[in-house]
Structure 1
């Protein structure tokens, strides 16, 4: 009887916050309503996603096997084929463990805020406010940079495809910037006017994700010359000129980390998901498993078909040269490259959705200037329209930097990986603290039980290693053009966030934990 009375209380509050009973899509399951009630949040977004559509969403956002092609030179220069194969495998195992830890928290508190909300609830009381504020800024900036990264990647691959088909074409940096803006604009259309169709679109694009995998894998297997298996798995390259092969391997491991980043997108879409506490963790784990498996198969196949590392000198890009060497046809190569480009464009589409929800959630907690404007949900569309447009503007402005300096643009975009990894480290660190000090834990539909602490600790070991590796430059004595500026941009972001907190944030930001209702 008490439970039924409690459910009635939740439904009454929910009805008052959402409005009349016609908003069935917003209500979600009773468990969704209970979670939103506990976290003190108003249900403003439609819960149109189910397991299959959010699984598709995350698979497409990560685009693991697709993205590994354009970023493969990072590992092939520092690591070679052997380094690339094992760096990807190590990253895959690491992220399976890491995302298992994150999945448990996603079930405890399935909110769009994600990491900064978890830190606000799970950190030691005296550090909850400032830590969650810093992580909120880092996550917002990291996801905004990730949107620009995927759009810029799609734009540059379009340029390479044009150069392949029109030998007289001379790529210009401003061409890439315009193409980046065009890709981002396409993503905005789907995230505003077609937002209600997004779950359906994601399911259809998953079919392309799977069929495209075989559409590229089969021609490579059938048409490419084969490299000896021993050479593929045991040949290492120290093209960066490091003192030893181990350091070179670490410098190249970011090619394995990048394509496996972003499974937490399911968390940032949690308030648009039916039965979020159950579906979010399942989606995160299964996405990491399947995308990682597809990615590793493609990496191994690519390395078998690579031939000489001279392809790294190709004006079109290493993977396009490999496709051409295999098919001996510009048309066939173009068709294979188009699959990659299409998937990266849809990857950007999902990133815009995720980044705008992260910005919306942080604004909803009064953390940034003009927070009411950023947190506004447009009636009828039921999406944070202003946050979506802001994400588009941010991508466009960042792309313009590339006209003046590609080095400066890459330096800013390098914030993506370190920002997201830092948010993982802090979130899992808070759970480790709670377990070690026997603090009460929230109930979870993905409870790790007695394995929780070991899994959390192993996750932290992987994360710290990955974070350190992302700061490595490609060569040991870099000049400004080859410098890895991640540490500089990362440090500047931390300093800016701290300064902003003390001058503004601490006066307006209470932290999500202050709105949490304690349920008996």
Structure 2
């Protein structure tokens, strides 16, 4: 390997950096700013996509992809079943606080190495040389798994909302599994159009959708405040319930934390779009932190409001509409048209959240393929010369979710359990990447320059993040209820283990020879 390809993260020389005081100016739409060009040069990467995202549009993209207040409504059924209203409210606040530390840790690394690779690239740069190749390879596969299943999750939830809408307006409708699968495909078709033919307009589209995201929050919450019958505040804030009969209310509430955690998993989404953002090292970490704070507060307020509207927990959980928040809308407005309007608003945001998820996972797959991390890497790392996007990676995401959705034909429970493994995969990628930078700090090693520097608080923030994430990781493999039947088991652990085993075997067979890790393309200090 040539000398100019040696990593800076394993040497003691001054890291290669954009010179302090050097003017950071826009060079072109494709190259971005001079700082962007310097970062790509340091990482040994060629700029292939357009840098058409800016401060506001990447913030909008990140907020829509997380969509926390919408997500808390969609996942409330899990928290209400495990912990009740008090478990949902206080559990969400605990999870939000914990993810604040996680977001700060990831944001700092995103500023040090602003690349679409995200976690696997950061692991490669910060892990000890003895294990950087293997760890970054496994994290790369976990990232692919996490983001691919995220697309499956969001498209499934959007399909469920459509079925709930139909049932709301036609009581004789009997939802069929094949109809649910076709609805998933319909949502994917919309995502395909916006991620291919309209890809250049994606920043504008997501910028407009974030306006709807914020306006929709008030459009939903005001009717709930004004029109809903309210449960007593003493019950809402203090009544913890073990509706799933774990035999221990504290245990039930801890299991329920996973519902809130799923609202924040994917907080680093903007980092995977870094090669399409101008002045990415500065913009991306701040977009991540504002997304965490803004969406987090929206979600908590919505969660509290929702809990006040749930006067009868079990009737909401067992709603024939199949979507608890639609039942709450009906109870609140006392009107089918009113509940329909609110649900359509939720559906619209969900669909464009799926559009953003597909964009994110295609960029993460593209980056991993560029570093020879997956089979057929040359094909998946190609960027369309006309659209300037990794088109083949978009197509493989579509194919993956279409094939995965076939499970829904046999069992919707099995499908939701399979796609839930994405949460465990993403949590693992966070744990490993943050552990690597924490280890460098403990060893007193030189870190790369960052425009979002945690300074002396870096190590405590990293350690708190790791402890919090390990806690969530353990509970991500718990079933939704104790003593489950085979059909109700949490099969995420099986899928998670299968992917880990496949990644290790593929690494031993091919990866050992083809994959060197992004760190080997990084240039030395100048």
Q: Shorter-chain TM-score category?
A: over 0.9
> 1:329-344 residue pairs with structure 2 within 5 A?
329-344=335-350
> 1:188-267 residue pairs with structure 2 within 5 A?
188-267=192-271
C-alpha contact 1:411 1:489 (8 A) present in aligned 2: no
Structure 2 SS opposite 1:378: coil
C-alpha contact 2:414 2:488 (8 A) present in aligned 1: no
Distance 1:69 1:438 in 2: 44
Give the 3 Å change call, closer, same or farther, for CA 97–507 of structure 1 in structure 2.
same
Quote the residue 1:480 is aligned against: 486
Structure 1 SS opposite 2:487: coil
Deviation at 1:196, TM superposition (A): 0.8
Quote the residue 1:456 is aligned against: 462
Quote the residue 1:443 is aligned against: 449
C-alpha contact 1:422 1:467 (8 A) present in aligned 2: yes
Quote the residue 1:313 is aligned against: 318
Quote the residue 1:322 is aligned against: 328
Quote the residue 2:396 is aligned against: 390
Structure 1 SS opposite 2:111: helix
Give the 3 Å change call, closer, same or farther, for CA 299–7 of structure 1 in structure 2.
closer
Distance 2:411 2:316 in 1: 26
Deviation at 1:23, TM superposition (A): 8.6
Structure 2 SS opposite 1:125: coil
Q: What TM-score does the superposition give when structure 1 sets the normalisation length?
A: 0.95
> 1:68-87 residue pairs with structure 2 within 5 A?
68-87=72-91
Distance 1:179 1:23 in 2: 44
> 1:182-193 residue pairs with structure 2 within 5 A?
182-193=186-197
Residue 269 of structure 2 corresponds to residue 296 of structure 1? no
Residue 506 of structure 2 corresponds to residue 500 of structure 1? yes
Structure 1 SS opposite 2:320: coil
Quote the residue 1:172 is aligned against: 176
Structure 1 SS opposite 2:406: helix
Unaligned runs of 5+ in 1: 1-5, 9-21
Cα RMSD of the aligned pairs, angstroms, is 1.6
Distance 1:251 1:369 in 2: 36
Give runs of ≥4 in structure 1 deviating > 6 Å.
Answer: none
1:469 to 471, 475, 483: 475
1:141 to 145, 163, 179: 145
C-alpha contact 2:417 2:492 (8 A) present in aligned 1: yes
C-alpha contact 2:88 2:260 (8 A) present in aligned 1: yes
Distance 1:280 1:167 in 2: 46
- What are the superposed Cα offsets for residues 315-355 of structure 1, whole Å, 9 maximum, x if unpaired? 11321111111111100000011111111101100000000
User: Aligned residue pairs: how many?
Assistant: 504
The structure with the greater share of residues assigned to helix is 1
Distance 1:263 1:216 in 2: 24
Distance 2:327 2:487 in 1: 25
Q: What TM-score does the superposition give when structure 2 sets the normalisation length?
A: 0.94
Distance 1:103 1:252 in 2: 27
Quote the residue 1:12 is aligned against: none
